[in-house]
Amino acid sequence: MCDYSLHTVSSRDAELSDVLVSCRFPGTETRGFCSKEDPLTAVCLRPGTELAFEDDVRIKGLFFRRKVGAQLARFRKVDTNKPTEHHDALEFANGRIVKLTDLATGQRARVLQLPAEPATKRTAAPITIELRATQP
């Protein structure tokens, strides 16, 4: 859900229509999403959450920022078999995958759609069956 590796930063779940800002959390090198109103609280996304950025998404480069070439993205997990790496990423309509830690800060995105809640397992009420023996 929230892979920001931020034990000292508060967090909350994203909500439909939230306007999020790509940010770097104080005291860390980790980047993720926060709200404009509360830049100290990490906003957690569930895999499948869809975002629409206001502009072409930019990622940090060594000397300058590069553009991704897209504005619509779906949140997903990557490299889950590597426990020491960041797993939070965005997959864009053009097929490009960008980790949240590579996003340039200050970009605004609206939550367009949240993934469906996982179905809960239903358990049926126990029933009693009475068996009667028949005689030949």
Per-residue pLDDT for the chain (136 aa), expressed as one digit of tens each?
A: 466 556 678 889 999 999 999 999 888 878 899 999 999 999 999 999 999 999 999 998 766 678 999 999 999 999 989 888 888 999 999 999 999 999 999 999 999 999 987 666 667 777 777 777 777 6
pLDDT of residue 51: 98
Give strand ranges (E) for 41-84: 42-44, 50-53, 58-59, 66-67, 72-77
pLDDT of residue 15: 96
Residues in the chain: 136
pTM of the full structure: 0.79
pLDDT of residue 9: 81
Q: Domains of the chain: which residue ranges?
A: 11-113
* Residue 69 tokens, joined: 């070439």
From residue 99, alpha-carbon distances to 9, 25, 58, 104, 119 in Å are 19, 16, 12, 11, 28
